[in-house]
Amino acid sequence: MKVPAGRLDRAYEAHREEFETAALRVLRSGWYVMGEELASFERQYADYIGTKSCVGLGNGLDALWIAFKALGIGAGDEVIVQSNAFIACVMGVTINGATPVFVEPNEYFLLDPAGIEDQITSRTKAILVVHLYGQAADMGAVMDIAKRHGLLVVEDCAQSHDATWNGVRTGSFGDIGCFSFYPSKNLGGFGDGGAVTLNDPALNEKVRTIRNYGSQKRYYNEMVGTNSRLDEIQAALLAVRLQYMDEITQERRTLAENYRNGIINPAIALPAVCPGAGHVWHQFVIRSKKRDALKAYLAEKEIGTIIHYPIPPHLSQAYDYLNIPKGALPVAERMADEVLSLPLYGGMTNSEQQYVIDALNGFHG
Ligand SMILES: *Cc1c(COP(=O)(O)O)cnc(C)c1O
C-alpha cells in the first residue's frame, strides 16, 4: 500500500460541488481582486476567530512581516521567538530589519514561557508565538510576561486554525494573529493565501494600507507598502471550507488519537499534549533517536514522511549573519535530528492508517 505524507484531493472531493459552485460564481462575476467575496470572508473569519477585524493577504509570510511592520517593529528592535520555529516565522521578523532572539522550546515543541524573561533586553519589542504543529502555546503565561514588560505579542497561527488555549481560539490573544491558507494548512485554499486577525481599528487600517501599495485612496500613497491581497476566488473557496472547520478538526483529532493509541514502540516517542491546549494536529510529530533509519524504513514500505524541520533557523545559511554557533540552542538542534511527521490528511482511511501503525510497530532500527 502507498501512503503519501499528505494529500489534498480527498478533502476537495468531499465538498467538490460547493467548491466548484463558488469558483464559477467568481469567474462569472467579472470581479477578481478586492471585492465582495473578500469582504465577506474577512467578516466571517474575524467572527470565527473572535476578533474585531480580519485582513486578507497574499500568504502567511506576508501576514507576519506586514504585522511587524504595522506594529512599527524594525531595525534595532528585538523579537523573541522559539528556536525550533519554521524559517518563515523568523523571516517575518528579519524582513523588517529586526533581530530574532531565540528561546528554546518545551516538551510540547512550543515556546517555553520559563525561558522568555532571561532574553528580554531594552531593545525587546515583541514576542512571536508560533502555535507549532497545531498546538496552542501557553497564552496565559505569555500574555502575563508581555504585560509585565510592555511587549507586543504576535501569534503565528499558520498551523493552528481552530486550535484553542483554555477554550479560546489562537489568533485572538495577541496584538495580531497571522494566518496562512497555503493548501496544506488545516484551513487551506487552492493556491496561496493569508490573513491577519486583530482588534485595534488603527492597526486594522494600517495593515489595509500596507497591503495596497501604502494607499487608502487610489493613487494617493501615504507610505511605501506592498501588493499582498487575498484574491476573490481564494476568499470564496476558503469561505466554503470554513463552514466545515469543525469536521476538519474532528477528523484530524480522530486520526491523531488512533496514532496515539496504536503506536507502541520503545524507539518512538509520541507527541505530548499540554493541559489547556486544544490541539488541531496540523502535523503528527513523533521523535526517535533512530529517525533517519526510521524514515528510510518507512519509505521502503511506500509510507511518506516529512521532517519539520531538518535545520533550525539559527543554523540555516540564511542566518549565518546572526553568528549563532552550532551547539548554542541544543534543544532545538536535538529536535531537528529526531522529529518526523507521519501521514495525516483529510480522507485518510482506517486501512491506510493501520498500515502505517503496523509498520511503525514493526520497526526495530
Ligand atoms: C506555512 C507557514 C508560514 C508561511 O505561510 P505561507 O503562506 O506559506 O507563506 C509561516 N509560519 C508557519 C508556522 C507556517 O507553517
Q: What is the pLDDT of residues 21-74, one digit of tens each?
A: 999 999 999 999 999 999 999 999 999 999 999 999 999 999 999 999 999 999
Q: Which three cell numbers stand for residue 135?
A: 498546538
Give the tens place of pLDDT for each residue, 89-110.
Answer: 999 999 999 999 999 999 999 9
Question: Mean of the pLDDT values across residues 139-162?
Answer: 98
Check: CB of residue 228 under 8 Å from CB of residue 55. Answer: no
User: What's the rounded Cα separation, in Å, for the pair 363 and 296?
Assistant: 11
Closest approach atom of ligand 1 to CA 159: 15
Q: Say what the pLDDT of residue 365 is.
A: 77
Alpha carbon of 180 to ligand 1 centroid (Å): 6
Q: Cell match 532574553: residue?
A: 119
Determine if ligand 1 sits within 6 Å of the CB of residue 156.
yes
Q: What tens digit of pLDDT does each residue of 231-278 get?
A: 999 999 999 999 999 999 999 999 999 999 999 999 999 999 999 999
The mean pLDDT value for 207-222 works out to 94
**Sheet containing strand 194-198, strands side by side:** 53-57, 194-198, 176-180, 152-156, 124-130, 78-82, 99-103
Say if CB 187 and CB 160 are below 8 A apart.
Answer: no
- Supply the pLDDT for residue 272: 98
Please tell me if the CB atom of residue 341 comes closer than 6 angstroms to any atom of ligand 1: no
Give Cβ neighbours of residue 353 (< 8 Å, ≥ 6 apart). 255, 258, 259, 262, 343
Q: Which residue is closest in CA terms to ligand 1's atom 6?
A: 60
pLDDT tens figures, 308-322: 999 999 999 999 999
* Local structure of 354: helix, strand or coil: helix
Average pLDDT over the chain, rounded to whole? 98
Residue 296: what pLDDT?
Answer: 98
Q: Are strands 168-169 and 164-165 parallel, antiparallel or unpaired?
A: antiparallel
Reported as type and span, the H/E element at residue 219 is: none
**Does residue 194's CB lie within 6 angstroms of at least one atom of ligand 1?**
yes
Does the beta carbon of 89 lie inside 6 Å of ligand 1? yes
The closest residue, in CA terms, to atom 4 on ligand 1 is 60
Any atom of ligand 1 within 6 Å of the Cβ of 234: no
- Say if ligand 1 is within 6 A of residue 309 CB: no
Amino acid letter, 296: A
HSE value, Cβ hemisphere, 13 Å, CA-based, for 273: 18
CA–CA separation, 196 and 183 (whole Å): 17
User: What average pLDDT does this structure show over 126-140?
Assistant: 98
Q: Which three cell numbers stand for residue 295?
A: 524514515
Stretch 186-202: mean pLDDT: 98
Ligand 1 centroid from CA 92, angstroms: 10
CB distance 79 to 211 below 8 Å:
no
- Ligand 1, residue 88: give the atom nearest the CA: 10
Peptide bond into 309 cis (omega under 30): yes
| Ligand 1 and 188: CB distance under 6 A | no
Q: Please tell me the predicted confidence (pLDDT) of residue 57.
A: 98
Give residue 137's region: left, alpha or beta (phi > 0; psi -120 to 50): beta
